[in-house]
Chain A
């Protein structure tokens, strides 16, 4: 690391806002994924003007810059893959304005998701995206990754809730896009920048849309002796046009891991449970809960339990949201996948995941947003054994390939980052990627902002050249079959 650069950063940010000692750097080489990459320094700006100066310096020294919220991401988005400066937004954590009447708030990027929710609850509002990490993750991180969560089934993901952004461009300009509504003149730049995984700009202020809290909520726990019963229930709920607020599934393996720690009340001898929530007007919720319960029983639920009060409901959700923590008790390292499939393909996909696991010698747990078709298979492995690591990754890849074959996608909410860049060609053609690259280069011409993310570099593909996979039912527009994996 260039001591001059650190010195210059310290000069305008202050000594307490720059970290560059090896022991500090170690703490920032991780996020929530299985990847690591060590930065050369970490800075803590307090204002957008600080960020502008940091970007200016990075350009002068030609050193990469990577934005970081709480570091809870699951695809390496906030890791300095090629080294450089990590810009932590931990100190830009103020809620600047709450407008209850117009259902909007303006926040700095370092505001924690749960903190915003607590701050707006008095007005009967919430910020709808609710990733499992919401007690730690920041709105800035949610924006970068276009974060989801269980309740995005009914409420939409982050991009549906962002109205405007103030950003520092990699070329140093401070710009505002969007505004207080999405109907401004010109291109929908917010739609582009949300979910761009920190590769197009550093966000310094966010205008979010707030959503009314529902009047009534009912949370159901349906217990199954067969995994197929649970997946078939989800297929039927979707096909009948019922949109629950959330529809989560935990398979037997996962619910046992969770139960041992959280004691949420998941029956230990079951093969799967569905956690289904309906919300809205009292009059609507009553009937929806009844309909959902009937469908569950029709597909073999041996028990459908309705949470009697907020405490029971919170406990069930605690079981869901702390599942990854529970898995962490069983194994120091695990790999969570994030594939998406059409909801109609759930039963066969779960069966295929089980088969792939057996074939590769892994027991794979499943806990996921069933209502969206957003899978999160969990593969436990021992990171000390490099062979196991490689096998875990290739097992996860096999699952993703199957998702694509079903007409799905490689990531539903965790992002591409440095985890799945090499898988992008399974989904996108050279022409698709060329257009995305030209958009990135238009804003990030020197490639200093978050390099090594999203786009395949050729590294890691080994000898195999990955080509787009055929999607069943994709009609005449499907790209040519990639014979490597067909």
Chain B
């Protein structure tokens, strides 16, 4: 098999310009994924250039991985092959923005921070309070499937991405959806791209529905002695008419990662909730939340000032990054659960960690998503030896209660021991068919996704 080193830089340079192709090992180190380094990296400037690059790759059978700001490339299994990185950061333009219609069309490589600044000028925003949002690109964020605490009020990207243009595995530029807020013209193919870590195609353009920035947001923070009380409080909020913007539950160790000003005792749990609206709505929330907190035996209930609220929101959105900073070999499990099962699940997770003597931190979203971080103090083989058995237990615990567990972050050593996507499910043959339709030559991110797709 040819590797692009043999054709680069000249042929790829013809497509993107000599300055935008590199085969310099030092530069390529930045594109490494799980220890696999590509032979070249190209930085196209337009969707048509991406299409030409992919056509070349398809002809030469190069394995291609699209990259954005490279903040979440650790998500996925190590690539089976990786010849060419397509760096999307030069596709960073706003294509059209219609503030009056609350719709926005951007190139995939645009940094979220710049996008947010553009929207803020018109008092609008995208509810993507995701980790690494100071650097991450729109395309990378959607591809990685990371969620945001704002999902409580706004849903996930699947609820506000209106359409996309992508480059398929044979280099065709194909779009689905559109730029209007309501549309059933053709298949919603763009939904398949969300969380697909570049295994189906390369996103070149994204159309978003945008949202008005709330005039005022306020936060509250309640502390509980028992996990079940914290979860009961969260559930009572969800059953109330308050419709919070964010609702997150976390344990003491997560609060240490967050450096919150409120110190939790050893077995304490906290619930952070925020809401938006006019002054009267805020007063009502404050009053009702306090009453609900009392009913759930809150040890402490605090209304946060604007600064404390935005700081806590930053910590919560950055949970995966904070866990990784704290412990280099940290393992993070994401479990899609049900609101009423979260108490039981987290208890089980804590006992799995305790049995193997591993520190752990838990952050759960009110809607039923749990992030569980195992934070080994040692590194390398000893860490793997401790964590690996836990992972097996976590997957089987999740499977036995019909919940889904995946591992958005762990060390490379651990990936060699187990599959981060968990056991195959009955829908896997359908996913294989999707992959075959989008990427018939299997050139996109081979081996990284579910079941080796």
A interface list, Cβ under 8 A from B: 99, 101-104, 124, 145-146, 148, 152, 156-157, 159-160, 169, 173, 175-177, 179-189, 191-192, 194-196, 212, 214-215, 235, 238-243, 280-284, 286-287, 340-345, 369, 372-374, 407-416, 420, 424, 427-429, 431-436, 438-443, 454, 471, 473-477
Contact = CB atoms under 8 A, between A and B. Distances in A.
B284 interface: yes
Contact of B433 (A177, A407, A443): A443
14 contacts: A101-B340, A181-B369, A186-B425, A212-B239, A241-B212, A283-B278, A283-B284, A284-B281, A340-B180, A427-B178, A435-B168, A442-B437, A443-B430, A474-B105
A177 B434 contact: no
Contacts of B179: 342, 407, 471, 474
B243 A280 contact: yes
B196 interface: yes
B241 A413 contact: no
A477 B184 contact: no
B180 A409 contact: yes
A344 B235 CA distance: 39
Given A281-B281, A409-B185, A156 B155 contact: yes
A409 B98 contact: no
Contact of B196 (A157, A182, A187, A471): A187
Contacts, number: 276
A431 B124 CA distance: 34
A342 B103 contact: yes
Contacts of A427: 178, 185-186
A435 B172 contact: yes
Contacts of A184: 336, 404, 425
Contact of A188 (B158, B242, B278): B158
Given A101-B235, A180-B402, A185-B425, A435 B437 contact: yes
Contacts of B450: 185-187
B37 interface: no
A175 B47 contact: no
Interface in B337-391: 337-340, 367-369
A160 B421 contact: no
Contact of A185 (B175, B204, B406): B406
Nearest to B282: A283
Contacts of A235: 100
A157 B180 CA distance: 13
Given A372-B181, A476-B46, 16 more contacts: A187-B195, A189-B434, A238-B102, A241-B211, A281-B243, A282-B284, A283-B284, A345-B101, A373-B181, A409-B178, A410-B185, A412-B183, A416-B184, A435-B168, A436-B176, A441-B437
A439 B438 CA distance: 8
Interface of B: 46-47, 95-96, 98-103, 105, 123-124, 147, 155-156, 158-159, 165, 168, 172-176, 178-189, 191-192, 194-196, 200, 204-205, 211-213, 235, 238-239, 241-243, 277-278, 280-281, 283-284, 334, 336-340, 367-369, 402-404, 406, 421-422, 425-431, 433-434, 436-438, 449-451
Contacts of A415: 184
A146 B182 CA distance: 10
B147 to A, nearest CB: 7
The 4 closest A-B pairs by CB, nearest first: A241-B212, A191-B191, A183-B336, A215-B241
A241 B123 contact: yes
A191 B161 CA distance: 12
Given A160-B155, A435-B189, A412 B184 contact: yes
A178 to B, nearest CB: 8
A175 B101 contact: no
Contacts of B431: 186-187, 189
Contact of A474 (B96, B200, B280, B427): B96
B182 A194 contact: no
Contacts of B101: 238, 342-345, 373
Contacts of B368: 102, 180-181
A407 B180 contact: yes
Query: Most B CB atoms within 10 A — which of A280, A286, A436, A439?
Result: A439
Given A101-B235, A192-B192, A372 B437 contact: no
